[in-house]
Amino acid sequence: MTITLEEALAELRKARKLVLTAHQNPDGDAIGSLLGLGHMLQALGKDILLLLDDDVPTRYDVLPGHELIQKPEEGKTYQADLLVVLDASLDRIGAVRDAVQATILNIDHHPTNGGAADFLYLDGHRAATAEIIYQLWELSGVELTLPLAMALYTGIATDTGFFKFSNTSPFTMRSAARLLEAGVEPNIISEAMEIRPYSHVKGLADALQHVELWHEGRAAGVFLSYEQMQEIEATDSLIDMLRVIEGVEIATVLKYKEEGKARVSMRSNGIDVSAIATKFGGGGHKRAAGCGIEKPYDEARQELKAAIDAALAPTDKVDEAQAALREAAGAGDPTQPSAAIGAAAQ
């Protein structure tokens, strides 16, 4: 059931014991939203547990409360009044979904969210789920402490590419300014997000040896099998290196961290990659999306490339039509309309 922001806050206030979670392969918005809401609920006197079915990258150690995030114990069942799923649909939270027995409140900003939760608050206009948590904080009357502000700033900054992406809005900048007034030091956050261990940097270098360009250079991808991933410690930021290659319109990374299941990330300069992701049961935004593919490596790679080719094909046709128009316009008397132009435009 879709609810309002005020109703979402009412559900949070009503619950005594809450479990908070976010998606696997967590990014800054997932961790920032998780910790931000956690700090807010603690201030409201709630009993909370932060569960995440994945490892938390060490760069988030800069955020107070990061040590509270736990992995669900295998075979254990957690009882709570409310399970709050942040920045993801229910199919992206792994073992947490089955481990927690509770009513589910889903708070998200991804338009592709299928709405399977008992309660869903979705705002696809927000740049990050952390912006929604910021709005909840505004309604809550809770003091804006530095730990809360740091978490929310991290979520907002990382999901906007530190305010470079097209999803950056006036609301984004006003929110960030308020968080800075609470004591957030932006250089501390940005430097922490950039730092990588040597092994991770080497892993990126190794992964870049597998870059493929296709569709006349308009698509770029790195496809890493389970065996290759055993030699590569981390691939964080790899997708960002691909998306800036000149001429690339869609960038993708496919990797097998576990046998038989690929994790896929996609970025674009305007083509709707969320439409590609939904074909594989995933989702996201027009310019950034992801999914999982439970198929053998070769099959998953071929199907993903074919789906990207199909997404690029309509723009191929537009380019061909425009070229025909230009060619036709250059023939004959330039002051007279051309029949070829009318034919090419049809």
> What does the pLDDT read at residue 342?
33
The DSSP secondary-structure symbol of 231 reads: T
Residue 103 tokens read as: 């009513």
Quote the radius of gyration of the chain (alpha carbons, Å): 23
**Please, which pLDDT band fits residue 339 given cuts at 50, 70 and 90?**
very low
The 10s digit of each residue's pLDDT in 7-26 is: 999 999 999 999 999 999 89
Q: What are the strands, taking DSSP E only, across the chain?
A: 17-22, 47-51, 69-70, 78-86, 100-108, 119-122, 211-214, 219-224, 250-258, 261-268, 283-284, 288-293
Nearest to 32 by CA among 160, 153, 209: 153
* Residue 18 DSSP SS3: strand
Nearest to 84 by CA among 140, 151, 21, 17: 21
Higher pLDDT, 298 or 332: 298
Percent of the chain beyond pLDDT 90? 83
Question: What is the number of other CB atoms lying within 10 angstroms of the CB of residue 345?
Answer: 11
Q: Give the H/E segment covering residue 156.
A: helix 146-159
**Please, which pLDDT band fits residue 146 given cuts at 50, 70 and 90?**
very high
Nearest to 344 by CA among 316, 330, 323, 313: 323
Nearest to 249 by CA among 269, 275, 277: 269
How deeply is 75 buried, as exposed, middle or buried, from its count of CB atoms within 10 A (0-12, 13-18, 19+)? exposed
* Residue 19 DSSP SS3: strand
> What does the pLDDT read at residue 236?
81
Residue 150 tokens read as: 């740091």
> What does the pLDDT read at residue 327?
66
Query: Half-sphere exposure of 305 toward its Cβ, with a 13 Å CA cutoff?
Result: 15
> What does the pLDDT read at residue 326?
64
Question: What is the number of other CB atoms lying within 10 angstroms of the CB of residue 330?
Answer: 9
What are residue 257's phi and psi, to 5 degrees?
Answer: -80, -20
Residues 6+ apart with CB under 8 A from 72: 51, 53, 78, 95, 96, 99, 100
What are residue 148's phi and psi, to 5 degrees?
Answer: -65, -45
* Residue 302 DSSP SS3: helix
The 10s digit of each residue's pLDDT in 83-121 is: 999 999 999 999 999 999 999 999 999 999 989 999 999
- DSSP, residue by residue, 89-130: -GGGSTTHHHHEEEEEEEEE--TT----SSEEEE-TTSS-HH
> What does the pLDDT read at residue 28?
97
Enter the pTM of the model: 0.84
Domains of the chain: 5-194 (3.90.1640.10), 198-321 (3.10.310.30)
Amino acid at 123: D
